[in-house]
Chains A and B, each alone.
Chain A
Amino acid sequence: QQQVKQSPQSLIVQKGGISIINCAYENTAFDYFPWYQQFPGKGPALLIAIRPDVSEKKEGRFTISFNKSAKQFSLHIMDSQPGDSATYFCAASVMRSNFGNEKLTFGTGTRLTIIP
């Protein structure tokens, strides 16, 4: 049972363009939605995250848009650069007051390629 669905599986964007990756979740208990960036041979690294009490969060060229009613969230990368070429994972979890994050449920990943 895939609780977090991610699309597209791969994405090619021209340098300077906008990269958009979408995720949808099923579990309404999720209350923490991070995006991770993974380069070959490396572990995933936290890029940006959002809680469901806001509809948008921006950090530099990266923006998360969140639609609670539709149970969807997306990552927008503005002015995409070749250095952004990586695999991107959305994820969701339930924050627990005693232990912090519960397990992260990951999407299936999007391989992003930025071409010059």
Chain B
Amino acid sequence: DTAVSQTPKYLVTQMGNDKSIKCEQNLGHDTMYWYKQDSKKFLKIMFSYNNKELIINETVPNRFSPKSPDKAHLNLHINSLELGDSAVYFCASSRGSGYTFGSGTRLTVV
């Protein structure tokens, strides 16, 4: 009964490939997010959705495309992967104050 679950946990892929990360939350939260944590552990928001509507779109290359089929799911599709995309990607959800984060997807581009 994981609150925010992400799949896969690890993803190793070659440059130029397209990959997707899936996220699901069972907390009934209205808002979902994607955050990127780089090798220095710095956490930065990429996108947020509220009830399937895109609310925040930070300065992210348009190779990254989020999609929210319903308010419990937020997926992230990445086209033409680059070495610099290697990071840990965290999904999170919130209602009011306080985020709940998933356990992350470690993406390695080789």
Contacts and interface: CB of A to CB of B under 8 A. Distances in A.
Interface stretch (A19-27, A72-80, A98-106): A98-106
Contact of B101 (A44, A103, A108): A44
Given A42-B104, A108-B40, A99 B99 contact: no
B44 interface: yes
Per DSSP, chain B at the interface is: strand
Interface string B71-101: 0000000000000000000101011111111
B97 A43 contact: no
Per DSSP, chain A at the interface is: strand
Contacts of A42: 103-104
B43 interface: yes
A32 interface: yes
Interface stretch (B11-19, B48-56, B61-69): B48-56
Contacts of A99: 30-31, 50, 55
Contacts, number: 66
Interface string A28-50: 00001010101001111110010
A8 to B, nearest CB: 14
A101 B42 contact: no
Contacts of A46: 98-100
Contacts of A105: 45
16 contacts: A34-B97, A36-B101, A38-B41, A43-B102, A44-B99, A46-B100, A49-B97, A49-B98, A87-B41, A95-B97, A100-B94, A103-B58, A104-B43, A108-B41, A108-B42, A109-B41
